[in-house]
């Protein structure tokens, strides 16, 4: 039976120190075999496609790019959380770069709210106190409320294969600050402020620019996010499975 594999990211091969031991051991042992056995590979971004080619020498014609999409809860219409804050969304783990983001928001004197499950790594210091609130896991409706109320969403991740919070924030009418280069810049597609994720000063400057350019970024983001639908993902994915089966 032909195998089709969807690849969301290859971070464990590029940033292994950002993962727990199980992931560091399991990924390199199993993933290459699965990828090479597939008749077709679906990459969620052009960046991930390039990574597949670079890391595993996969022939380009075996890869199809099908971006992720948005749930219906993420719209501009709806309640917004109160307060003056920057929002970060993602599993609490080293790759999300929370230490530098905390440094940036503290330098600005603005509250940082973090939404996401506890993950792994030495990042517990970022979860509360001194201008930081960890909200844990929220429902989509609760998360959309936080998006709408945020001064901006900061997503200075060190490595992503896509970056769904970028689109969720845009769809909720919120400016986005994210990392230059890689999948985050690709998914932002000119509708976000780009920063050097390894430089807290650059992140802080980006947050300030997002506030100054709010009206422009909101409109660009709304227009951009509108094209990412699960109906489109489903149609394109079915086409790849049919192609593989042929």
Q: Look at residue 228 and tell me whether its pLDDT is greater than 70.
A: yes
Task: Give a yes or no: residue 76 inside a domain.
Answer: no
Asked if 4 and 39 count as a contact pair (C-beta separation under 8 A), the reply is yes
Give the percent of the chain with pLDDT over 90. 86
pLDDT tens, residue by residue, 143-191: 999 999 999 999 999 999 999 999 999 999 999 999 999 999 999 999 9
Which has the higher per-residue pLDDT, 42 or 122?
Answer: 42
Q: Look at residue 246 and tell me whether its pLDDT is greater than 80.
A: no
Q: Look at residue 238 and tell me whether its pLDDT is greater than 70.
A: yes
What rounded mean pLDDT belongs to the chain?
Answer: 94
Question: How many separate domains does the chain show?
Answer: 2
pLDDT at 126: 57
Which has the higher per-residue pLDDT, 200 or 118?
Answer: 200
pLDDT at 127: 65
| C-alpha triplet 150, 104, 19: angle, nearest 5° | 90
- Domain at 33, CATH number: 3.40.50.2000
pLDDT at 2: 80
Range of the domain at 91: 85-225
Signed CA dihedral, 234, 240, 243, 245: sign only: negative
pTM of the model: 0.94
Quick one: 51 and 142 in the same domain? no
Question: How many CB atoms are located within 10 Å of the residue 20 CB?
Answer: 12
Quick one: 35 and 17 in the same domain? yes
Q: Cα–Cα distance between 26 and 44 in angstroms, integer?
A: 22
Task: Give a yes or no: residue 80 inside a domain.
Answer: no
pLDDT at 241: 94
Quick one: 190 and 233 in the same domain? no
pLDDT at 20: 84
Lowest mean pLDDT among 26-30, 32-36, 134-138, 231-235: 26-30
Quick one: 47 and 100 in the same domain? no
Task: Give a yes or no: residue 75 inside a domain.
Answer: no
Q: What is the SS3 string spanning the chain?
A: CCCEEEECCCHHHHCHHHCCHHHHHHHHHHHHHHHHHCCEEEECCHHHHHHHHHHHCCCHHHEEECCCCCCCCCCCCCCCCCCCEEEEECCECHHHCHHHHHHHHHHHCCEEEEECCECCCCCHHHCEECCEEEEECCCHHHHHHHHHHCCEEEECCCCCCCCHHHHHHHHCCCCEEEECCHHHHHHHCCCCEEECCCCHHHHHHHHHHHHHCHHHHHHHHHHHHCCCCHHHHHHHHHHHHHHHHC
Quick one: 54 and 95 in the same domain? no
Quick one: 106 and 63 in the same domain? no
Quick one: 218 and 240 in the same domain? no
pLDDT tens, residue by residue, 88-132: 999 999 999 999 999 999 999 999 999 999 888 777 655 667 899
Quick one: 241 and 201 in the same domain? no
In sequence order, the β-bridge partners of residue 206 are none
């Amino acid at each position: 039976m032909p195998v089709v594999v969807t690849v969301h990211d290859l971070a464990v091969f590029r940033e292994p120190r950002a993962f727990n031991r199980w992931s560091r051991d399991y990924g390199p042992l199993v993933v290459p075999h699965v990828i090479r056995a597939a008749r077709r590979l679906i990459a969620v971004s052009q960046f991930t496609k390039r990574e597949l080619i670079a890391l595993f020498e996969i022939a380009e014609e075996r890869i199809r790019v099908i971006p992720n999409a948005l749930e219906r809860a993420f719209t501009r219409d709806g309640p917004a959380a109160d307060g003056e804050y920057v929002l970060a969304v993602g599993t609490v783990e080293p790759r999300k770069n929370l230490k530098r983001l905390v440094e940036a928001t503290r330098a600005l004197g603005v509250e940082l709210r973090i939404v996401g499950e506890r993950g792994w790594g030495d990042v517990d210091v970022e979860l509360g106190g001194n201008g930081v609130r960890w909200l844990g896991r929220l429902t989509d409706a609760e998360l959309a409320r936080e998006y709408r109320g945020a001064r901006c969403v900061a997503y200075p991740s060190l490595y992503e294969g896509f970056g769904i919070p970028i689109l969720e924030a845009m769809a909720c009418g919120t400016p986005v600050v994210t990392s230059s280069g890689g999948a985050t810049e690709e998914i932002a597609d000119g509708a976000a402020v780009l920063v050097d994720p390894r430089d807290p000063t650059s992140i802080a400057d980006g947050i300030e620019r997002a506030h100054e350019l709010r009206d422009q970024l909101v409109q660009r983001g709304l227009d951009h996010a509108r094209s990412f639908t699960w109906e489109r993902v489903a149609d394109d994915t079915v086409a790849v499975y049919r192609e593989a089966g042929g």
